[in-house]
Amino acid sequence: MARGRENVVRLASPIAVPATGSTASQRARAEGEERGFHPGQDGQFQVMRGLVFLAFAGLAACGSPHPLDGLDRTGTARVEGRDYRVNWNVSTAQVTRMTPEWRPAFASVARGAAIAAEQVTGCKVVPSSVSGDIAMLNMALDCTAS
């Protein structure tokens, strides 16, 4: 096999030109094919653009409280090597673990989340109120004790 220039053969594909009695949609399709547009590409592009938008919208919502929860304040804290985002109001806190970690122990996450909530809010966490999972925990706050 010799090195150097490679022979490139370009094949032109014949484009069917619609008859004069064709419909407007047939003429538009033929014109689009002449410019390199193939039927079905526009629909596929619209779907992909929609999926990309949904992916970015989903990522933007990470760590955000649900609007109906009424949690109007937010803050962050780092406890025991984990980052937490705390969303709270006068009586309730919602703590989201932001540091990616493979299957951490629930007890250590709950302890860190309670400490983070106390640091950010300045209120005490009601000990028996901590519930949730390793990603997000809800808890009641006692702001009269501080």
Question: What is the per-residue pLDDT across 45-90, written as a single tens digit (0 to 9) for each?
Answer: 677 777 777 766 665 556 667 666 788 899 999 999 999 999 999 9
Domain containing 119: what range? 67-142
Does a structural domain hold residue 20? no
Does a structural domain hold residue 50? no
Instruction: Count structural domains, the chain.
Output: 1
Listed in sequence order, the residues at least 6 apart from 63 whose beta carbon sits closer than 8 Å to its beta carbon are 85, 87, 96, 98
Does a structural domain hold residue 21? no
Range 135-140 average pLDDT: 95
Does a structural domain hold residue 57? no
Does a structural domain hold residue 103? yes
Does a structural domain hold residue 14? no
